[in-house]
Amino acid sequence: MPAGRGYHRIVLKAPEAAAVAVPGQFVMLRVTEDMDPLLARPLGISSLPSKSSIEILYRVAGRGTALLTRAEAGQTLSLLGPLGKGFPQPDKTVTPVLVIGGSGFPPLHFLSLRTNNRAQVFIGARNKENLPPISILKSFRDHALNVSIATEDGSSGRKGLSTDILKAFLKKREQNTRFVLYACGPPAMLAAVSRIAEDHSITCYVTTEERMACGFGACMGCSVPMKGGGYKRVCKEGPVFNSREIEWGSVKSSEFGVRSEEFGVRSEE
Amino acid sequence: MPAKLKIKPNLSVDFAGIKLKNPVLTASGTFGYGEEYAEFVDLNRLGGVIVKGVSLKAIQGNPPPRIWETPSGMLNAIGLENPGVDVFIERKLPYLRQFDTAVIVNVFGYSLEEYVGVVERLDGVLGVSGLEVNISCPNVKAGGIMFGTNVKAAYELLSAVRRATRLPIIAKLSPNVTDITEFACAARDAGCDGISLINTLLGMAIDVRCRRPRLANCTGGLSGPAIRPVAVRMVWQTARSVQLPIIGMGGIMTGEDAIEFILAGASAVAVGTANFIDPRATLNVIEGIETFLREQGLDDIKSLIGAVMA
């Protein structure tokens, strides 16, 4: 059902998946029994509303997600998951810093629920309409130490980028405070956050996206280039990577904010 | 209406000297090296596994995006990413050896010498039932495509490969040719034991707003149900012109899809893209074939090979 700001919310009864899912993981969801659209859609888990269910928040990004909005209560969908490696759980001595761009909030929303109200959350979007739904912003505020918002047009929070408010925060940081960064958003944002993490010698985990056919390591479609050559699979070795592992290469952190990219399900438009 | 069969129909086939407990194999490149499906499929139930293509040296593959979904199909341009034949033998094959299923190794190279090198390396290796020689991958610029679309080059390559091994050789042909039977004849004349068809059809998709190809490689191989009629036609044409046994593949999703290929003349089938959508697709196909035979009152799958009335 609509969740506000163009997002849709679907809660799936999937006890086996819910029992083991951790933040950062995703599921492959088949939205039709027909041959068209053929492939299942990778969707990040945004929370576990109960012991036996998983919540998905998504935007219509193509034919698959459009079909998903027509799913009815009680309908059975084919689901595979949870898949991929999630975020390493932050230990109690560090402050988790969550950096969110555009629609990249679901995995980090799930993570924020497991950080014992210690997380610092930075959310950036092009404008107010592109922020996460109000219910999610409230949930972030309920479960984080602090939530800061930036929009490129200044229609909500500070005018600027998520990385601007992150940099300002890190500049003011107290000595002896240790941080771990967790970032999800468009590639240019991830590259920019990765650069900031390196400048400040902070460990940084990013969730990556790439088009995939299977979700479980067989099709070799969802490869991301690694520093030092070769590729790793988003679905198997990822989607969470230490930002230092990734060869950002053609992804220019300087382009972040210059050419606003919308973040969405990579199996679709 | 034929009487329903009460006994279990016989699904076993002998393919070019390779004993298969049922005619269902996995199409190369869609099933990794078997281990990727360990949590979904009991490999003992499969007729055989055709592994992802291996080359003499490791290959990193193409930059992303490598995948694009198309109507009832998908384009891929993985670029034959693989760890190389030595790593395959040392780290991938031992896992497959544990199972009671035929292991057919798909091999390729960028030159005749590389093909011969990888084939020689696999000759006599324990646990290898046969080789599928890929002369048809559309995603490598040098070598592959040339062998697959030039009859003389295909003949010379397959002849050289024939001299390099005692294992059964199955030539995997490219559908991107005008007359598939010329290539099937070349494979026969070169001494191959069987034929696999079809590999993917060369395709392309363009993002009209960005005016860029959807795949970083620009073109890719089309697979899935969209290509099945083309594949069935090529199996039928080949079966009529060459005596070699055929592994039919191209968009098989169900048991009845597999039967279509068998009626066209295939002795075995391979399930490919369906594995991505449902990792248990191979098992569903096996069960579907068995159900079909029971419904038809047939006690042996072999009675359907090439039995289309055309």
Residue B144 scores a pLDDT above 60: no
Q: Provide the shortest C-alpha distance from residue A220 to chain B (in Å).
A: 7
Q: What residues of A are in contact with residue B63 (Cβ under 8 Å)?
A: 223, 225
- Say if B125 falls within a structural domain: yes
Query: What confidence score (pLDDT) does residue A263 get?
Result: 36
| Residue with token string 């919540």 | A55
In a domain, B185, yes or no: yes
Domain regions of chain A by residue span: 2-83, 95-255
List of chain A residues whose C-beta atoms are within 8 Å of the C-beta of residue B276? 39, 213-214, 218-219
Establish if A226 touches chain B: CB-CB under 8 angstroms: no
Q: Does A38 touch chain B (CB under 8 A)?
A: yes
Report the distance separating Cα B201 and Cα B138, nearest Å. 8
Q: With a threshold of 0.85, tell me whether the complex ipTM lies above it.
A: yes
pTM above 0.90, yes or no: yes
**E strand or H helix at A28, and its extent?**
strand A26-30
**CA pair distance B17, A73, nearest whole angstrom:** 53
The mean pLDDT of A24-34, rounded to a whole number, is: 93
Q: Judge whether B217 lies within some domain.
A: no
**Most confident among A176-185, B39-48, B132-141 (mean pLDDT):** B39-48
- Report the percentage of chain A scoring pLDDT > 90: 80
Q: What is the pLDDT of residues A8-24, one digit of tens each?
A: 999 999 999 999 999 99
Q: Give the residue ranges of DSSP H helices in chain B.
A: 85-87, 93-97, 112-122, 144-149, 151-163, 180-189, 228-241, 255-264, 274-277, 281-296
Token representation of residue B189 = 């004349």
Q: Do B69 and A224 touch (CB under 8 A)?
A: no
- Section A32-38 average pLDDT: 92
Residue A56 predicted with pLDDT over 50? yes
Q: How confident is the model at residue A254 (pLDDT cuts 50, 70, 90)?
A: low
Active site residue B137: yes
Task: Specify the pLDDT at position A104.
Answer: 83
Q: Which residues of A touch B224 (CB under 8 A)?
A: 35, 38
Tell me, what's the pLDDT at A3? 83
Residue of B29, B34, B33, B32 whose CA lies nearest to B45:
B34
Q: Which of A17, A218, A25, A235 is nearest to B37 (CA)?
A: A218
Domain count of the fold of chain B: 1
**Closest-CA distance of chain B to residue A82, Å:** 13
Asked if pLDDT for residue A49 goes beyond 60, the answer is yes
Instruction: Please name the CATH architecture into which domain A2-83 falls.
Output: Beta Barrel (2.40)
Residue A146 has pLDDT above 90, yes or no: yes
User: What are the chain B neighbours of A35 within 8 Å (beta carbons)?
Assistant: 72, 224-225, 253
pLDDT of residue B38: 93
Best residue in A16, A27, A219, A246 for a mutation probing chain B (most B CBs within 10 Å): A219
Which residues span the domain enclosing B169?
13-62+80-203+223-304
Cis peptide before A107 (omega within 30 of 0): no
Candidate from A38, A211, A220 with C-beta closest to B61: A220
> Quick check: B131 and B187 in contact, CB under 8 A?
no
Mean pLDDT along residues A109-135: 93
Fold for domain A95-255?
Rossmann fold (3.40.50)
Structure confidence at residue A259 as a pLDDT band (50, 70, 90): very low
CB contact (8 A) between residue A213 and residue B279: no
Distance from CA of A111 to the nearest CA of B (A): 27
In a domain, B310, yes or no: no
**Banded model confidence at residue A57, pLDDT cuts 50, 70, 90:** very high
pLDDT at residue A253 tops 80? no
Q: What's the CA gap between B226 and B30, in Å, rounded?
A: 17
Q: What's the pLDDT band for B139 if we cut at 50, 70, 90?
A: low
Residue whose C-alpha is closest to residue B135's, from B175, B92, B166, B85: B175
What integer best gives the mean pLDDT of chain B? Answer: 94
Measure the CA–CA gap between B140 and B24, rounded to whole angstroms. 28
Determine which helix (DSSP H) or strand (DSSP E) holds A56, and give its type and residue range: strand A53-59
> Which tens digits make up the pLDDT trace of A176-217?
789 999 999 999 999 999 999 999 999 999 999 999 999 999
Residue A175, pLDDT > 80, answer no
Question: pLDDT tens-digit profile of B100-133?
Answer: 999 999 999 988 999 999 999 999 999 999 999 9
pLDDT of residue A4: 84
pLDDT higher than 80, residue A174: no
Q: Is A228 on the interface with B (CB under 8 A)?
A: no
Q: What is the pLDDT of residue B128?
A: 98
Q: Which residue of A has its CA nearest to B59?
A: A230
Chain B residue whose CA is closest to A39: B277
Q: Which residues of B touch A213 (CB under 8 A)?
A: 67, 69, 74, 76, 273, 276-277
pLDDT digits (tens, 9 = 90+) for A239-252: 999 999 999 986 65
Contact criterion met (CB < 8 Å) for B30 and A218: yes
Domain of residue B247, CATH code = 3.20.20.70
Q: What is the CA radius of gyration of chain B?
A: 18
**Mean pLDDT of all residues belonging to chain A:** 90
Q: Do B66 and A30 touch (CB under 8 A)?
A: no
Which of the four pLDDT bands, split at 50, 70 and 90, describes residue A269? very low
**pLDDT for residue A266:** 44
Interface contact A1, partner B, CB < 8 A: no
Q: What is the pLDDT of residues B255-288, one digit of tens each?
A: 999 999 999 999 999 999 999 999 999 999 999 9
Torsion B118-B123-B127-B133 (CA) sign: positive
* Cβ atoms of A23 and A228 closer than 8 Å: no
Q: What is the pLDDT of residue A91?
A: 86
CB-based burial label for A120 (10 Å; 0-12, 13-18, 19+) = buried
In this model, does residue A258 exceed pLDDT 80?
A: no
Chain A: give the shortest CA distance to residue B65, in Å.
6
Long-range CB contact pairs, A252-257, < 8 A, 24+: A252/A188, A252/A191, A253/A188, A253/A191, A253/A192, A253/A194, A253/A195, A254/A192, A255/A188, A256/A161, A256/A163, A256/A186, A256/A188, A256/A189, A256/A191, A256/A192, A257/A152, A257/A160, A257/A161, A257/A163, A257/A188
The pLDDT, as a whole number, for residue A61 is 87
CB–CB of B64 and A224 under 8 A? yes
Choose the mutation target among B26, B59, B66, B139 for the interface with A, i.e. most A CBs under 10 Å.
Answer: B66
